[in-house]
Amino acid sequence: MDIATITLLVLLAQAIIYGLMLYQMKKANEVTKTAANAAKLSAEAATESNRNIRNITETTERAVVLVEKVITTKLGPAFGLDQNSVIVFTLKNFGHTIAYSVKLSGLLLGPGKDPIREMPATTIAPQGKASWMTRSLGAWVPVENLKRINERSTWLEYKIDVTYKDAFEREHVYQCNGRYEPALNEFLIIGSTSD
C-alpha cells in the first residue's frame, strides 16, 4: 500500500467518523428540543395551575359582607315606632378574610324618602360586624305616618348599597332591600344581590 492509498483510507475513515458524529449530534439536538418543549409545556401547566389555585382561593377565602339584621329602636315591646326611633343596620363579614373600605349608602322609603347618611368607611374582620344608624324617623316622617306604619296601613322600606374591598384588592357590591315588620320590630329582607 502506498501513501496515497493510506491517506485516502484515513480521509475516508475520518469522513465516516465525522458523519457518525454529525448523526449523533443531530439526535442529541432533537432530544434537547424535545426536552425543551417538555419543560415549556410543564412551565405553562404550572402557571395555569397557579392561576386556577389563585382564582379558587380568591373565591373561597374572600370577604363576604351581608346584612345580618336591620332593627329599629323603640320605647319598649308594647310600643311602636315613634319620632325618636332610629334604624340600625348591622353588616356581618361572613367570609374568611378582612373586608376593607366598607361603605353603606341608600334610602329609606315609605311615606316620603330619606337618604341614609354616608358614614366613614370601616373595616370588618372575618366573622366581625359593623353597624350604621340613621337619623331619627321624626326628622322626616310625620307622627300620623308613624302611626300608620305601626298599624300596617302603610310601609317603611330600605334600599342599600354596600361596597367593600377584599384582601385580594377586588371590589365588591352588595345590594339589599327590606321592609319593616312592626310585630318583629325589625326589617325583613325582601331582595338582595351580591357579586
Count of C-beta atoms within a 10 Å radius of residue 2: 7
Are residues 176 and 160 in contact, defined by beta-carbon separation less than 8 angstroms? yes
The one-character DSSP state at 140 is T
C-alpha cell read off for 155: 310601609
Inter-residue contact 58 to 50 (CB < 8 Å): no
Q: Cβ(67)–Cβ(91) under 8 Å?
A: yes
| pLDDT at residue 78, rounded to an integer | 61
Site of grid cell 366581625? 128
Output the pLDDT for position 129: 97
DSSP H/E element including 63: none
Give me the pLDDT at residue 122, please. Answer: 96
Residue 155, φ and ψ in degrees, nearest 5: -130, 165
What does the DSSP assignment read for 4-60? Answer: HHHHHHHHHHHHHHHHHHHHHHHHHHHHHHHHHHHHHHHHHHHHHHHHHHHHHHHHH
Each residue's pLDDT tens digit in the chain (195 positions)? 788 888 877 777 888 888 888 788 888 788 788 888 888 888 888 888 888 888 888 778 899 999 999 999 887 666 789 999 999 999 999 999 999 999 999 999 998 899 998 889 999 999 999 999 999 999 999 999 999 999 999 999 999 999 999 999 999 999 999 999 998 888 999 999 998
- CB burial of 132-143 (b: ≥16 within 10 Å; e: otherwise) equals bebeebeebbee
Q: Is 0.85 surpassed by the pTM of this model? A: no
